[in-house]
């Protein structure tokens, strides 16, 4: 290899920016190296990249993916709405990452349709500063957070009590100094809590052996690069090395007599958490309940919820959709190495607590003084104005004067997710009332004829009820994967018409299925 073919990270960033005619940061290039997309070349204290290797990557990635997806999904695919230039850190910015939520859209999609810009695709401005926007399926609150950034008042409605708290804590104003003090106290009590002294010794030895094993057999980023180049049969190699390390793991479990879990347990916490973790979780929650400040109590409870989600006895690839409890070490398809179940919440709680404060500080600087309200209710029947009047008199006056300008939401997709079940751990621990029977289009109802009709009825009733509170000339944007072509009927039943639709590729999905996938943003107006 000729030396002149090698570029530094900075030089590669500049070269790629010129090639692609868009900004490619040094972080973007480092990501490619870290995840084995391009080969890393060491040169003293610096990292170098072969320009031919980088060009090969962009040639295959830049053009081929878009072309292939359009062949499979149709030429009407709007690639500009893929936001493929963004890193994960951009799409999960500030409070959007306070707690995982399956099925949420990225904030840039909301911003694209709600902000005041126009382009070749979006030819009108639909919302302005001081308007009110509604999300009747508010989930984790993405629309509300983005509205807050843009000076737009917002209302979120959701049947899930946990979802409502998740959204609310992102938007509340905090005394961050007092919050940090409270978190410090909770951290310390958890750190001081010892259920079983042997756990720490066991985990330290297990972690050391995993690190040594991964360094030898899954060196990063070389191993990932070899996979990309198909130099290794991943399935065969993974099974072989997983089995090899499992002998080491079982030896340590026996050595330290570690309690795992009870597969026959009916409780979610009992089934999906190793014994020591269950005890730590319950202890931590008891400490949180003692916090007097309501807002601080809520946000720290969300930190705990985020923590226990990450501590479930499952593989990293299956965090979004649980399959079977994973109580042994395993080959991780996400991280491309041997990973392990967790035996303590301490490190994760510490990490997430620190991260939460950091994200709140960032968002505090971006927030406007616009009003927001989160309502736990059924969007098919709720009297929105009445609920706002009970909660915020000033906001109610604004609503009475100008009403709601429109909706931006992503309704549930028919037969894909049980929204209460995805946070079953939180409902189990916190004792929140579940409203599974009020969900529209849940997974457990399937995708048969009856389920589709129920879905059409449910979504159209939400729109009909919402119309009562909307201003004349309203704009509604619904993000949906409408593979059964249900939304023309839904629009008709709601007395609306679809005036436009935008088909976008969904590039970053949490599951292992990376096949081409799209969703449609339907733009509805009154007939």
pLDDT in tens, 295-341: 999 999 999 999 999 998 888 888 767 788 889 999 999 899 999 99
Q: What is the pLDDT of residue 378?
A: 98
* Ranges of CATH 1.10.10 domains, the chain: 3-73
pLDDT band for position 389 (50/70/90)?
A: very high
Is 131 a residue whose pLDDT tops 90? yes
Confidence of residue 26 (pLDDT cuts 50, 70, 90): confident
How are strands ordered across the β-sheet holding 470-480? Answer: 372-376, 153-158, 132-135, 404-409, 470-480, 518-526, 496-505
Instruction: Return the top range by mean pLDDT from 87-101, 134-148, 424-438.
Output: 134-148
Find the range with the poorest average confidence among 61-75, 119-133, 401-415, 440-454: 61-75
| Nearest of 394, 380, 385, 409 to residue 167 by alpha carbon | 409
pLDDT band with cut points at 50, 70 and 90 for residue 469:
very high
Strands (E), 36-184: 41-43, 46-50, 132-135, 153-158
**What pLDDT is recorded for position 66?**
73
Terminus-to-terminus CA distance in the chain, angstroms? 66
Residue 4: the pLDDT is 58
Q: Long-range contacts for 256-262 (Cβ within 8 Å, ≥24 apart)?
A: 256/198, 256/199, 256/201, 256/202, 257/198, 258/198, 258/199, 258/202, 258/343, 260/327, 261/313, 261/325, 261/327
Q: Stretch 232-250: mean pLDDT, rounded? A: 96
State whether residue 141 is helix, strand or coil: coil
Tokens of 246: 């499992």
* Number of neighbours of residue 509 by Cβ within 10 angstroms: 11
Mean pLDDT across the stretch 119-123? 85
Q: What is the per-residue pLDDT across 256-265, written as a single tens digit (0 to 9) for each?
A: 988 887 656 6
Helix (H) or strand (E) holding 283: helix 275-289
State the average pLDDT for the chain: 91
Question: What whole-number percentage of the chain has pLDDT above 70?
Answer: 95
Considering 50-59, 205-214, 275-284, the range whose residues carry the highest mean pLDDT is 205-214
pLDDT of the residue at 2:
47
CA distance 256 to 200: 10
**Cβ–Cβ < 8 Å for 143, 154:** yes
Q: What is the mean pLDDT of residues 482-489?
A: 95
Spatial CA neighbour of 170 closest among 122, 215, 117, 104:
104
> Which among 207, 138, 212, 122 has a CA at the least distance from the CA of 171?
138
Mean pLDDT is highest, among 58-62, 357-361, 516-520, for 357-361
Q: What is the pLDDT of residue 264?
A: 62
Write down the pLDDT at residue 304.
97
Average the pLDDT over 186-213 and give the result.
Answer: 88
Flag whether pLDDT at 1 surpasses 50: no
Contact between 205 and 290 under an 8 Å Cβ cutoff? The reply is no
What pLDDT is recorded for position 515? Answer: 78
According to the CATH classification, is domain 3-73 in 1.10.10? yes
Q: Residue 367 in 3-state DSSP? A: coil
Is the overall model pTM greater than 0.75, yes or no?
Answer: yes
Topology annotation, domain 79-165+367-424+432-526: Rossmann fold (3.40.50)
Contact indicator for 87, 27 with CB cutoff of 8 Å? yes
The average pLDDT across 466-481 equals 97
Q: What is the pLDDT of residues 41-55, one digit of tens each?
A: 887 778 899 999 888
Is 80 exceeded by the pLDDT of residue 196? no
Domain with CATH 3.40.50.150 in the chain: 79-165+367-424+432-526
Q: Mean pLDDT over residues 460-483, rounded?
A: 97
Provide the CA 117 distance to its chain's centre, in angstroms.
26
Return d(Cα 424, Cα 437) in angstroms, integer: 15
* Gap between the Cα atoms of 382 and 385, Å rounded: 9
């Amino acid at each position: 290899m000729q030396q002149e073919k090698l570029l530094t990270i900075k030089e590669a960033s500049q070269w790629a920016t010129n090639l692609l005619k868009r900004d490619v940061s040094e972080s973007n290039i480092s990501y490619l190296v870290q995840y084995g997309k391009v080969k890393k070349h060491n040169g003293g204290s610096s990292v170098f990249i072969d320009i031919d290797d980088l060009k090969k990557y962009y040639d295959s990635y830049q053009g081929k993916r878009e072309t292939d997806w359009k062949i499979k999904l149709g030429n009407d695919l709007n690639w500009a709405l893929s936001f493929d230039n963004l890193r994960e850190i951009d799409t999960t910015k500030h409070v959007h990452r306070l707690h995982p939520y399956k099925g949420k859209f990225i904030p840039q999609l909301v911003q694209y349709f709600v902000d005041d810009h126009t382009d070749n695709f979006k030819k009108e401005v639909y919302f302005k500063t001081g308007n009110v926007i509604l999300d009747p399926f508010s989930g984790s609150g993405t629309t509300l957070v983005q509205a807050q950034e843009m000076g737009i008042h917002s209302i979120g409605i959701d049947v899930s009590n946990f979802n409502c708290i998740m959204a609310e804590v992102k938007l509340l104003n905090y005394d961050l100094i007092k919050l940090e003090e409270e978190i410090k106290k909770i951290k310390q009590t958890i750190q001081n809590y010892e259920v079983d002294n042997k756990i720490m010794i066991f985990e330290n030895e297990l972690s050391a052996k995993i690190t040594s094993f991964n360094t030898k057999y899954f060196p990063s980023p070389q191993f990932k690069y070899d996979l990309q180049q198909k130099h290794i049969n991943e399935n065969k190699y993974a099974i072989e090395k997983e089995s090899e390390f499992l002998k080491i793991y079982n030896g340590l479990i026996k050595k330290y007599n570690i309690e795992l879990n009870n597969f026959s347990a009916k409780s979610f916490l009992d089934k999906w958490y190793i014994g020591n973790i269950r005890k730590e979780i319950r202890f931590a929650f008891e400490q949180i309940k003692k916090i007097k400040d309501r807002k601080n109590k809520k946000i720290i409870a969300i930190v705990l919820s985020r923590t226990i989600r990450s501590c479930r006895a499952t593989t990293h690839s299956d965090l979004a959709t649980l399959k079977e409890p994973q109580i042994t070490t395993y080959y991780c398809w996400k991280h491309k190495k041997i990973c392990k179940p967790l035996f303590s919440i301490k490190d994760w709680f510490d990490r997430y607590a620190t991260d939460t404060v950091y994200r709140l500080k960032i968002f505090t600087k971006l927030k406007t003084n616009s009003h927001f309200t989160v309502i736990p209710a059924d969007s098919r029947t709720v009297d929105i104005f009445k609920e706002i009047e009970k909660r915020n008199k000033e906001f109610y006056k604004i609503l009475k004067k100008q009403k709601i300008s429109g909706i931006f939401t992503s309704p549930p997709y028919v037969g894909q997710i049980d929204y209460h079940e995805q946070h079953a751990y939180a409902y189990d621990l916190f004792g929140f009332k579940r409203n599974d029977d009020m969900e529209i289009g849940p997974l457990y109802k399937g995708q048969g004829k009856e389920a589709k009709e129920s879905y059409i009825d449910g979504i159209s009733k939400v729109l009909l009820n919402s119309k009562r509170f909307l201003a004349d000339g309203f704009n509604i944007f619904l993000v949906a994967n409408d593979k059964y072509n249900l939304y023309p009927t839904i629009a008709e039943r709601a007395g609306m018409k679809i005036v436009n639709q935008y088909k976008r590729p969904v590039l970053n999905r949490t599951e292992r299925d990376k096949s081409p996938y799209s969703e449609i943003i339907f733009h509805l107006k009154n007939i």
